Amino acid sequence: MTTNEELQQLQTEHQLILDAAGEGIYGLDGDGRITFCNAAATEILGWRIEDVRGQRAHDVHHHSHADGSPYPQDECLIYAALYDGEIHRVDNEVFWHFDGSCVPVEYVSTPILQDGKRNGAVVIFRDISRRQEIERQREQAHDELSKLQIAHQLILDAAGEGIYGLDSEGRITFGNSASTEILGWHVGDVHGQRAHEVHHHSHADGSSYPREECPIYAAITDGKVHRVDNEVFWHTNGSAIAVEYTSTPIMRDGKPDGAVVIFRDISKRKEIERQREEAYEVIKGLKEQLENERDYLRDEINVTVNFGEIIGESQALKRALAQIEAVAPTPASVLILGDSGTGKEMIARAIHAKSARVDNALVKVNCASIPKDLFESEFFGHVRGAFTGAHQDRLGRLQLADGGTLFLDEVGEIPMSQQGKLLRALQEGEFERVGDNKTMKVDVRVVAATNRNLMDEIKAGRFREDLFYRLSVFPLEVPPLRDRLDDVAPLAVHFLEGICRELGREPLRMTQNHLAILKRHDWPGNIRELKNVIERAVISSTGSRLRLDLALSNALVVKPVTTQPLPAESPEFVTIAEFQELEKANLIAALQCANWKVWGPGGAADLLAMKPSTLTYQMKTLGVAKQRAEATNLPEKS
């Protein structure tokens, strides 16, 4: 190896040693210019050796005091080592970072001596920001401790409970003013005496209370907390005071070295408990009476509303209600299937109302509305700090439904990635909250609902087959409104009466013509659509006449057979042939009013609030000759 190579190797080893140091290190030549530095110096002060080599260190990072005032070089203790050849230590100054911020440091400036002459210096420094913060916190804690010590006695005397202390032999060391008030002693008179002999020597009946059986002294011997809620302490006047107390050991080096006793006079509470027991029997009788009345009223309500809001007498609905009656009393999971708007939530509420869980909660979860990243928190809950924004503990829907029914609406919308976690919770009846290791156990009955074909979802890989079979122990299909047209009339009348009440309107009349129009509609939106149509009609009606024609876009308005409202006892009706003749007459009247114009503003389709293509189809179906429209000179879109 050549001399240059050896020198290069030595320099490399020298820099590695410097960079291994945790403190910042840099060197100065005889003029105070920077000659080298290590990685820690770069990290602490933000410079690069290439940028500062050859510059005066004082000008680079030591030019000012912490308050920004100038720091003259001739006062700088770093440079003093160059002048006087002595080691200078400083424990509270600042160096300036390249970004302009100041860094609290402690440093040592050591002269480099060559042949007895000063030839530079080495500066070793440490960032003490963290240490200063710790010292500040320590001083603050010391101040707080002093305040606590001053307030200690005030707190003891301010406490409503009696408090006294014992040494390792059970002798009284201190007591507060409440203990004096309750037991009549003065701490100066009983200080140093054994507490058991002072106030705990006998039971309430006057029999002897051996010291070795005393829970107060047990805390001193076994180092455990002892709580007693029904004993007596003896007043200095010889009377017994009913008390509850806690004896807590004072531990020193892991061994009990005394105890603190906190006690409360419960004489008043005992009297209240006696009075409460007397009142309990009266309340118990009233409670039984109220429960009987409640059960009666609940039966009356169930009979009156017929499963709450489920209305209708169609065979399809009766079959669904029979299934509800069969499955509701069982613990079986129910999967409610049906189109949107068919009333699946009402079915779920009916199942809950007929189950043994009716007195507990029915908790609904709209699975489609839960963001994917909040699914676990929504279902299982979370503890404070489990994730960003979790500022407090939160109960999940499963825990809220414990003992009751969990209704999973739109269950087909649950993300595939979360279905396994839900399946485990439902199968095992246990789960962990987000951020918590403790396993929670619940007892829930699951009712789910969807308008999707879950078998298709399973084939498409969007729904777990095992979860499907867990939910569909008892599938229950809700018929669409088009399959229960017999229920259109009672539903429409029910909605009309309720909406008029909600909007503060005088009751409007539902005629046979209205019902005929409603029954001709195929109701793709089911019961929800029917309710919306009735509400639009009520809002659109200005007089006493229900303007169904303004609410149902494809309604065929016919001349009314009668202006009387629908009688409940003997409903009026017309034959199909008569009804078609009324429709035909209504179309012709509209065409005549529009001068046989079908399309465009003012045309017959516009007057009838229907699509022109639908009107053309109806004209063809009802035999309204098209040549009559062509006989006019008015332009018409074909």
In this structure, the chain runs to a length of: 638
pLDDT tens string 586-602 = 888 778 777 788 888 77
What whole-number distance in Å separates Cα of residue 115 and Cα of residue 135? 43
573 falls in which pLDDT band (50, 70, 90)? Answer: low
The alpha-helical segments, DSSP class H, found in 46-111 are: 49-52, 57-61, 77-84
Q: What is the percent of the chain where pLDDT is above 70?
A: 90
Neighbour-count burial of 90, counting CB atoms closer than 10 A to its CB (0-12 exposed, 13-18 middle, 19+ buried): middle
Task: Give the closest residue to 258 by CA, choosing from 341, 187, 342, 165.
Answer: 165
- The predicted pLDDT at position 614 comes to 84
Per-residue H/E/C for 520-574: HCCCCCHHHHHHHHHHHHHHHCCCCCCCHHHCCCCCCCCCCCCCCCCCCCCCCCC
Instruction: Please report the pLDDT score of residue 628 as a whole number.
Output: 46
> Which of 137-141, 391-395, 481-485, 539-543 is predicted least confidently?
391-395
**Domains in the chain, please, with CATH?**
13-127 (3.30.450.20), 159-265 (3.30.450.20), 315-479 (3.40.50.300), 574-638 (1.10.10)
pLDDT at residue number 284 = 67
Does residue 505 register a pLDDT over 60?
yes
Which pLDDT does position 620 carry in this prediction?
82
Is 375 a residue whose pLDDT tops 60? Answer: yes
Both tokens assigned to 310: 């489920």
pLDDT at 563 over 60: no
| Confidence label for 227 from pLDDT (cuts 50, 70 and 90) | very high
Q: How far apart are CA 99 and CA 152, in angstroms?
A: 48
Mean pLDDT on 25-41: 93
- The CA angle 10-13-14, to the nearest 5 degrees, is 85
Interval 75-103: pLDDT, tens: 899 999 998 999 999 998 999 999 999 99
586 within 8 A of 556, measured Cβ to Cβ: yes
Q: Output the six-digit token pair for 303.
A: 């009979």
Q: Could you give the C-alpha distances from 290 to 284, 285, 298, 361, 381, in angstroms and in order?
A: 10, 9, 12, 21, 36
Is a pLDDT exceeding 50 seen at residue 164? yes
CA–CA distance, 109 with 90 (Å, rounded to integer): 9
CB atoms within 10 A of CB 154: 9
State the average pLDDT over residues 505-510.
87
Query: 101: burial class by Cβ within 10 Å (0-12, 13-18, 19+)?
Result: exposed
Q: Which two tokens stand for residue 272?
A: 């209240």
- CB burial readout 104-130, b (16+ within 10 A) else e: bbbbbbbbbeeeeebebbbbbbbbbee
CB atoms within 10 A of CB 468: 20
Confidence (pLDDT) at 115 = 85
Q: pLDDT for 290-326, tens place per residue?
A: 654 454 344 434 433 434 468 888 898 889 999 999 9
Residue 550's pLDDT is what?
82
The whole-number pLDDT of residue 291 equals 57
Nearest to 49 by CA among 80, 71, 18, 20: 18
Q: Which of 564, 575, 608 is nearest to 590 (CA)?
A: 608
Question: What are the phi and psi torsion angles at 209 (to 5°)?
Answer: -115, 100
In this prediction the pTM is 0.43
- 187 vs 180: CA distance, rounded Å: 7
Closest CA to 175 of 32, 184, 595: 184
**Model confidence at 108: pLDDT above 90:** yes
